[in-house]
Amino acid sequence: MKRPADFDEPNCREVIVVGGGIAGLSAAIYLGRAQRDVLVVDSGHSMAKWEPVVQNYLGFPNGVGGEELLKNGRTQARRYQARIVRDKITNVSSRKSIFVLKGRRKTYRTKRLLVATGIFHLPPEIPGVKECLGHSMFFCKDCDGHRVRGKRIAIVGQNNEAVEYALGMLHYSACVIVATNGKRALWDRQHARWLEEYEIPVARKHIRDVLHRKRKIRALKFASGQDAKIDYIFTTRGDIFYNQLAKKLGAKIDSDGQIKIDQCMRTSVPGLYAAGCVTPANCQMIIAAGQGAAAAQAINRDLFEESLASHALRRFREAQLEQDKTVPEISKSKPKRRKK
Ligand SMILES: Cc1cc2nc3c(=O)[nH]c(=O)nc-3n(C[C@H](O)[C@H](O)[C@H](O)COP(=O)(O)OP(=O)(O)OC[C@H]3O[C@@H](n4cnc5c(N)ncnc54)[C@H](O)[C@@H]3O)c2cc1C
């Protein structure tokens, strides 16, 4: 039996999720289980792929690979009839409450659109660093602070955030330095005072490259010829938010580039939702998954209300009454009396 919304909009999906990372897959599982016609369009570059062992995701006491989490998420979503296709959406428009998505391979149409396109953490511009991403070069102390306890840590950055990162890392290690990589320090006086007060060394020289072996950082090599023995690098260079589709549709974006949402992950554009790192969520997998689920619930409710208002549910029910058995069988035998 077809679902209610299929009656009025052929060739148009009930929901399209752009982005098959952690937030998008979580939404697809919920929407599939809610019997919605859901399509996930994904270009295949989830940040989760960078993490070899996720240690902070509920239910995996021994950790789980980011790739494995994604693979299982796809299998789980498909189990509930969510379709997942590989494509990159390059343009979007809306016409009469229908979103039209232009992909590199195909054009898609949908009534509800969830943008779960994520972000890109910019690594420091230092030769040798990229090879160590997710192994000894990190972006997030909530994700990775715990695994670097007692190690030698360099925070590469030159702003207030870098100073606060260094202060925060003191919980995990006594050996923390800030490396500005030859750039002018932009931190304010208060942050400069904290660096002095907490005796955090600052390396101001240009970093020529990073010495590493099997993705494990050994040292920072400065242009001056000196080395600093370091085990891990964190950086505060910033993020690129993949917000273009929401922007194109007129959604409000904050000054950092994050898509503004309400508690139900609704953007300022009717029918358009956003979830995961592209919103003001703290960029964590479990939060992205939770937001994806919350967005899916809101979309499901929204479609339900629409089907009542448009009488699509009514027409669906009429078809059910014609085709299906709609009344449970009632037994004719009387209940036995209990003996006194
Ligand atoms: C090195 C590293 C280590 C990390 N370690 C941890 C950790 O240990 N624990 C933790 O909680 N978090 C960790 N994170 C963060 C975690 O990866 C993110 O929080 C999570 O992946 C965010 O999920 P998301 O769905 O918002 O975005 P993503 O998972 O990045 O997914 C976004 C998806 O959208 C797709 N997409 C983007 N634009 C388009 C488009 N136009 N058309 C089609 N598809 C598109 C992308 O290809 C991608 O697949 C780490 C991140 C990095 C970089």
Residue 316 phi/psi, 5° resolution? -60, -45
pLDDT band at 282 (very low <50, low <70, confident <90, very high): confident
- For residue 164, give every residue at least 6 positions away whose Cβ sits within 8 Å of its Cβ, in sequence order, or none: 191
Please state the length of the chain.
340
Percent of the chain residues past pLDDT 90, beyond the cut: 86
- Residue 86, pLDDT above cutoff 70: yes
Helices (H), 198-284: 244-248
Other Cβ atoms less than 10 A from the Cβ of 323: the count is 9
Which ligand 1 atom is at minimum distance from the Cα of 276? Answer: 26
Residue 147 phi/psi, 5° resolution? -80, -5
Q: Which residue's C-alpha comes closest to atom 5 of ligand 1?
A: 51
> How many angstroms separate the CA atoms of 189 and 217, rounded?
32
- Residue 2, pLDDT above cutoff 60: no
Single-letter code of the amino acid located at 231 = D
- Residue 13, pLDDT above cutoff 60: yes
- Residue 269, pLDDT above cutoff 80: yes
Q: Which helix (H) or strand (E) holds 287?
A: helix 285-309
Averaged pLDDT for residues 172-180: 97
> How many angstroms separate the CA atoms of 171 and 148, rounded?
11
User: What is the structure's pLDDT at 170?
Assistant: 97
The DSSP code for 240 is E
Averaged pLDDT for residues 163-179: 97
Other Cβ atoms less than 10 A from the Cβ of 234: the count is 24
User: What is the structure's pLDDT at 307?
Assistant: 96
Per-residue tokens: 174: 């006594």
Q: What is the DSSP string of 116-156?
A: ---EEEPPPS-TTSGGGBTTTEES-HHHHTGGGTTS-EEEE
Of residues 158 and 337, the one with the higher pLDDT is 158
3-class secondary-structure state, position 76: helix
Other Cβ atoms less than 10 A from the Cβ of 218: the count is 14
Averaged pLDDT for residues 74-95: 97
3-class secondary-structure state, position 264: coil
- For residue 109, give every residue at least 6 positions away whose Cβ sits within 8 Å of its Cβ, in sequence order, or none: 11, 12, 13, 98, 99, 100, 101
Of residues 78 and 11, the one with the higher pLDDT is 78
- Residue 6, pLDDT above cutoff 60: no
Averaged pLDDT for residues 113-131: 93
Residue of 278, 289, 284 lying closest to 254 (CA atoms)? 278
pLDDT band at 192 (very low <50, low <70, confident <90, very high): very high
3-class secondary-structure state, position 320: helix
| Mean pLDDT of the chain, nearest integer | 94
Which ligand 1 atom is at minimum distance from the Cα of 41? Answer: 43
Q: Any residues with Cβ below 6 Å from ligand 1, and which?
A: 18-24, 41-48, 50-51, 54, 56, 88-89, 116-118, 121, 133-134, 139, 143, 242, 276-277, 283-286, 288
Percent of the chain residues past pLDDT 70, beyond the cut: 96
Give residue-wise pLDDT tens across range 300-323: 999 999 999 999 999 999 999 999
> Against a cut of 0.85, is the pTM above it?
yes
User: What is the structure's pLDDT at 213?
Assistant: 94
Residue of 92, 104, 87 lying closest to 39 (CA atoms)? 87
Rounded to the nearest whole angstrom, what is the distance from the C-alpha of residue 183 to the centroid of ligand 1? 29
Give residue-wise pLDDT tens across range 217-255: 999 999 999 999 999 999 988 889 999 999 999 999 999
Query: Considering only 9-13, 145-149, 264-268, 325-329, which range has the smallest mean pLDDT?
Result: 9-13
Rounded to the nearest whole angstrom, what is the distance from the C-alpha of residue 53 to the centroid of ligand 1? 14
Helices (H) and strands (E) in the chain, counts: 8, 17
Averaged pLDDT for residues 67-79: 98
- Residue 29, pLDDT above cutoff 50: yes
Which ligand 1 atom is at minimum distance from the Cα of 90? Answer: 41
Averaged pLDDT for residues 323-328: 89
Single-letter code of the amino acid located at 239 = D
Q: What is the 3-state secondary structure (H, E, C) of 167-221?
A: HHHCCCCCCEEEECCCCCCCCCHHHHHHHHHCCCCEECCCEEEEEEECCEEEEEE
User: What is the structure's pLDDT at 340?
Assistant: 64
Radius of gyration of the chain (CA): 26
